[in-house]
Homo-oligomer: A and B are copies of this chain.
């Protein structure tokens, strides 16, 4: 969809202009004038009388010039039929503010929404809204919103499902923060234009350097993820999403189903798209500011310089706990630093560098000039507290000079306090330096920026590569038969069939024997030896360990016989039991499920009895590249298992990726499959054996 004309119209008509200062029709008209839309702005109102000092037309038809965009500031009931008039003058782009549609959850509202959609289809109209606040394209002088402010021009674009967020953000940038807006787009009900459409448009908007999105839901998960990926190849995208704590209420039948909540999946999609998720509105604002000012760390190595030792250590704590590194100052620089101060005082030359409470602007200058030359520093945070003789503004000026002379190498002044540091803060912001009053949220922001950059550069998979194509016979015959055999009453495949399916998909499974006699026991021991595991063979019992359905560590025949009798009597009569060789390794859980928004998702986590308690898992939207998997693994405690742990050889990440992709592929390919759990997958080195599997079928 090409929205170039929609967001860059050569002419705009505002319909429903009003003299009443509290009316939307007045506010929009005023904003358009104040924002400075150059020419071809037309006001429409049936009265035809001049408003806001400008000629007003009684109808669109009266306007002689072609109209690129119509902004409808009229109530829902008249706005919908008015689309006929819009179409009649040849305009196809509309912004509609009116509420009272589907969002009311009333029969009336839903009826109106249906009428609206019909009209849009009939006239091929592109609509923003309804129930929205409109949009701003500040650099083009367009402010088709009923906000309180003219938007300062800048390079931040925001797409928001909340108008209120826009009003708070606009209030923030309007307050002499020296950052500004390119676009603000209020999505409203998304009856036509949605988040992906607008995101796609902003990718090629040259005035936009960073994109912020506030979302409550996503219309088309797959498209959103792909569009996000396209966008993040060109510019950063910061997403703020509500609903972090509200999990899907649908009862899950597998561990995967219950552990891979809606929000974790959304987060996976964001991450794979190379975007960054802000945790709060405050963080959203801070990160947009950092990107807008190009204040982006080049790596995780951070240096701290301060005139307050304790504060420096507090900041260091925060940096480390956010996964950043306190860079070690090179010996050369340490010596130079010590030398530079030897005549006056003994400073701490280790990171955090403490220039002591009496640090002058010149002290800061000496120290920062030396440390800026260090090669592997990703950013420098300069802490200042207003002490007795602190040269606050002079220090700010020093920082500005250094920042320029070192070609904008990232530098974050954190001048703490309030009134004393206020002037310096304003000065720094005016000079385009991202300056802060507290460091509390900065380390998290920097860490997320670096992680998003890594994610955006990891290869992205749109389709599953050939390695993971299910074998042909899998499709055509056996599996179909398997499903048919289950009949309509079964909700899942029994363990034997589940493992067979996993095996056909190329996953190593523990050979499972159904033993019903002593002869069978002898055969298994002959083929597999000891130790063995015996499992109940009833298809009715799923969480096996909860019904004492598994006996592990069987090492001799007598014990095997005992296990056989115990389990056979618990299970269906004469059903016998399953036998498998017992494997040694880490107990992992690998699962997949169909998500209504994002399609197939894969979960990999620590298994065992405490799996659901500890939720040490990673989620990925299928398909995913090996690098994306590696990044997700890296941020989880599972990473530790890729080194030797408790006498088990390091697990092979490539092999684990392979298992995850194959499990995902089954769910993605077979419409009959809703969820899969392999629990546990016994992993040791590059040997990964599914010893128990459960395949949940799609319920009709």
Binding site secondary structure of chain A: mixed
24 A-B contact pairs sorted by A residue (CB < 8 Å): A22-B388, A147-B388, A148-B386, A148-B388, A148-B420, A162-B311, A163-B357, A164-B306, A164-B309, A164-B357, A167-B308, A168-B386, A171-B420, A244-B317, A244-B321, A245-B317, A280-B440, A282-B440, A283-B440, A545-B647, A546-B647, A554-B559, A557-B558, A613-B637
**Least distance between A326 CB and chain B CB atoms (Å):** 9
Tell me if A172 and B388 are in contact (CB < 8 A). Answer: no
Q: Which of B161, B240, B282, B388 contacts A24 (CB 8 A)?
A: B388
Tell whether A572 is near chain B: CB-to-CB under 8 Å.
Answer: no
Query: Does A555 interact with chain B (Cβ within 8 Å)?
Result: yes
CB pair B314 A281 closer than 8 Å: yes
Please give 6 more A-B residue pairs, beta carbons under 8 A apart, in addition to A164-B306, A242-B317, A244-B321.
A164-B308, A165-B310, A168-B416, A171-B385, A280-B439, A555-B563
Provide the A632-662 mask, 1 if CB < 8 A to any CB of B, else 0: 0000010011000111000000000000000
Q: Does A125 contact B (CB under 8 A)?
A: no
Q: Which of chain B's residues have a CB closer than 8 A to the CB of A161?
A: 310
Q: How far is the CA of A61 from the CA of B177 in the complex (A)?
A: 57
Q: Which 6 A-B pairs have the closest CB atoms?
A: A164-B308, A171-B417, A162-B310, A175-B418, A553-B553, A282-B440
Q: Say yes or no: is A346 at the interface (Cβ < 8 Å to chain B).
A: yes
Please, which residues of chain B bring their CB within 8 A of the CB of A65?
none
Contact A242 B419 (CB under 8 A): no
| Copies of the chain in the assembly | 2
Q: Which of chain B's residues have a CB closer than 8 A to the CB of A177?
A: 418
Q: Could you tell me if B172 and A313 are in contact, using CB atoms closer than 8 angstroms?
A: no
Query: A243 vs B316: C-alpha distance in the bound complex, in angstroms?
Result: 8
For chain A residues 579-600, which have a beta carbon within 8 Å of chain B? none
Cβ contacts A39-60/B at 8 Å (1 or 0 each): 0000000000000000000000
Contact of A310 among B164, B245, B316 (CB under 8 A): B164
Given A545-B646, A556-B558, A606-B610, are A438 and B280 also a contact pair (CB < 8 Å)?
yes
Asked if A370 is at the interface of the complex by the 8 Å CB criterion, the answer is no
Q: Is A214 an interface residue (CB 8 A)?
A: yes
Which residue on chain B has the smallest CB distance to residue A611? B646
Residues 151-169 (chain A) with a chain B CB within 8 angstroms: 160-165, 167-168
Do B240 and A281 touch across chains, with their CB atoms under 8 A apart? no
Residues of chain B with a CB closer than 8 A to A283's CB:
440
Q: Are B162 and A419 in contact (CB under 8 A)?
A: no
Within 8 Å by CB of A551, from B311, B553, B637, B645, lies B553
Interface digits, A242-272 against B, CB 8 Å rule (1 contact, 0 not)? Answer: 1111100000000000000000000000000
